[in-house]
Amino acid sequence: MTGLYEEFRIAVHSVWQRRWLAMAIAWGICVLGWLAVALIPNTYESQAKLFVQTKAILPENTGISPVERQKQIDTVEQTLTSAANLGKVVRGTDLGKNLVTPREIEGAVNGLRTAIKIKSEQDNLFEISATMSAGGRSDGEAATLARDVVQKLIDIFVEENLAGGRGETSDTLRFLDEQLAKRQKELEIAEQKRVKFETENLGMLPGIGSVSQRLETGRVEINQIDSQLIAAQSALAAINGQIAGTPQTIAGGASGGGVNPLAQAQGELAGMKARGLTDQHPDVQALKNQIAALKAAGAGASTSYGVSNPAYSSLISMRAERQAAVTALQSRKAALQGEMNAMVAKQIQEPGVAAEQARIARDYEVLKTQYDKLLADREQVRLRGQVETQTDAVRFDLITPPSSPRTPIAPNRPLLLIAVLLAGIGGGIGGAFALGQLSASYPTAAKLEAASGLPVIGSISQMLTQAQRDERKRKLRLYVGSGGALVGVFLLLLVIEFIQRGSVV
């Protein structure tokens, strides 16, 4: 412990002996360091916070889901620092002043890329910041330029989200319209081919789909016709039964006030023929027999006769209608059965017809599905564009406008001034100590004894006269004054720095 203390005393004595050298080194380091600190340009930062609301009142099937909108915002955030957008910032602010050549603009863009930061915080809160150095411009100009750059970035940010999304919608609609027109032509050709094939090969078979499906539909319809035919035949039989039990005429009075029975019967016969009944029809034959009987009996001249029964005539008309319905159903069944038989025979003779029909139907369905999907996509994109144009699907709220910086964020001159002062003091002490180590002096008797290897009897203290003591005091005052001046310059620089920090316009 004693040895360490002795070494410390020796080091302090060595430095003190060369204190003016230490002071000179300290002054030199401090002056140069403070000059370098003064030459460092101030850097000003402007910040703004922008809130982007992506929630939409409309449902997600409109095509603007929060996830998709957030993806769009992330894309804009990534492309905001592209060369094109940074070029807009350069040309829209004082950064582009006096820049003429593309090389100069490119250099400004590269410098701006490192000066701006876009940070996405939670809840869709974006922080946009820009730092501008006062190199080549005043502090006020640098602060204003930082604010202008942030404002321009915000304008581009909003423009990229709104105008960019609408431009993308227009391009998408144009592409979908082209595809729809192409698919529509292909669908029309496929439809014509399908109709032509069905006309040539499937005839009047009902239904849609393949040949087997149409045949099955035909069988179902024949079963329905059979049911209807049974019901119609039953109704016709019931009418015939009623006619058999209904007399054709009823008893009449004198001829003076009645109608001639022969003329009435002949009128009914004419009406039956007008309805399409042939001479072989039982009713027609019965009426003809009645007319013949009336003629033979001289009914036209008799004063007493039978009147035609109206109920019988009504039943005859109903029977004609029922017979027509039965005939129509029988004709429809026969035609349908003939078509089915012809199709079955054609399948046996030409097995490829069914395969060809299936291929044509499949191609048509594929084209129709594609067309319907494109049509639905186009409607969705169109609705999405209307939502973006007419609603607040995305809303921008400027939480914190671009700040006008009053103090520089860099450099930290007070800290640098202190660091230079400490470096100067340390450098002075270090220089004096190093020079003392290089000299061959022995500040203590023990040091001399250790260096020479000879015993040292003792040491003699220096005796100073009054004049020498006064001289030493004067030099000490000068030394203290020099050190105080160094500290005073440091304090003066601190005061100037704080005054300048508050004077940015």
Range of the domain at 312: 211-368
* Residues 415, 311: Cα–Cα separation, whole Å: 127
Q: Which of 164, 161, 137 is nearest to 148 (CA)?
A: 137
| C-alpha dist (Å) from residue 193 to 62, 208, 259, 356 | 37, 15, 67, 11
In terms of Cβ atoms closer than 10 Å to its own Cβ (0-12, 13-18, 19+), residue 403 is: middle
Is residue 382, in this structure, part of any structural domain at all? no
> Is residue 363 located within the same domain as residue 215?
yes
| Tokens (6 digits) for 267 | 């009128």
Q: Which pLDDT belongs to residue 169? A: 67
Q: 304 and 216: one domain?
A: yes
**How far apart (Å, rounded) are the C-alpha atoms in residues 308 and 264?**
7
Among 378, 394, 398, smallest CA distance to 164 is for 394
pLDDT of res. 312: 79
Residue 442 lies in a domain: yes
453 and 349, same structural domain?
A: no
CA–CA gap between residue 296 and residue 307 (Å, rounded): 17
Query: Does residue 46 contact residue 149 with C-beta atoms inside 8 Å?
Result: yes
List, run by run, the mean pLDDT of 10-residue segments along the chain (505 residues).
74 88 96 95 91 54 54 63 86 85 88 86 80 85 91 82 60 82 88 75 51 75 90 86 76 50 70 70 78 67 58 83 89 84 68 68 85 85 66 70 89 94 96 84 70 76 83 93 96 91 65
pLDDT at 255: 45
The model scores a pTM over 0.75: no
Please state, in angstroms and as integers, the Cα–Cα distance from residue 261 to each residue in 125, 187, 306, 309, 432, following that order. 106, 70, 7, 11, 163
For residues 242 and 312, is the Cβ–Cβ distance under 8 A? no
Domain boundary among 340, 368, 396: 368
Q: Does one domain contain both 224 and 320?
A: yes
Query: 104 with 427: CB under 8 angstroms?
Result: no
187 found inside a domain: no
**Rounded to an integer, what distance in angstroms lies between the CA atom of residue 360 and that of residue 89?**
59
Q: Could you report the per-residue pLDDT of 72-128, keeping only the tens digit for each?
A: 556 656 667 788 888 889 988 988 888 878 888 888 888 898 898 888 776 677 888
- Number of domains comprising the chain: 2
Backbone angles phi, psi at 12, to 5 degrees: -65, -40
Q: Indicate the DSSP class of residue 410.
A: B
Which of 48, 51, 103, 4 lies closest to 400, judged by CA? 48
> Would you call 125 helix, strand, or coil by DSSP?
strand
Task: Indicate whether 449 belongs to any domain.
Answer: yes
Looking at the structure, do residues 331 and 419 belong to the same domain, yes or no?
no
pLDDT tens profile 458-467: 777 777 788 8
The residue among 335, 351, 368 that closes a domain is 368
What CA–CA distance (Å, rounded) separates 369 from 216? 25
Regarding whether 341 and 268 lie in a shared domain, the answer is yes
Distance CA 490, CA 90 (A): 40
Same structural domain for residues 221 and 340? yes
In a shared domain, residues 357 and 473: no
Q: Is residue 72 part of a domain?
A: no
| Strand boundaries in 22-174, DSSP class E | 43-53, 116-121, 125-133
The span from the CA of 305 to the CA of 296, in Å, is 13
The H-or-E segment that residue 88 falls in is helix 83-92
Alpha-carbon span 315 to 245, nearest angstrom: 11
The CA distance from 460 to 462, in Å, is: 7
Question: Is the same domain home to 326 and 257?
Answer: yes
Q: How many CA atoms lie within 13 A of 274 on its CB side?
A: 7
In a domain, 451, yes or no: yes
Give the count of beta carbons closer than 10 Å to the beta carbon of residue 128.
23
Out of 316, 337, 368, a domain closes at: 368
Inside any domain, residue 493 = yes
Residues 297 and 419 in one domain: no
Distance CA(340)–CA(220), nearest Å, equals 12
Residues 282 and 288: their CA atoms lie apart, in Å, by 10
Q: Residue 442: phi, psi to the nearest 5?
A: -125, 100
User: Distance (Å, rounded) from C-alpha 169 to C-alpha 62?
Assistant: 13
φ, ψ at 350 (rounded to 5°): -125, 85
Element (H, E) at 251: strand 249-254
In a domain? residue 71: no
Judgement on whether residues 328 and 236 belong to the same structural domain of the protein: yes
Residues 327 and 462 placed together within one structural domain of the fold:
no
If we measure between CA atoms, which residue out of 479, 423, 481 comes closest to residue 19? 479
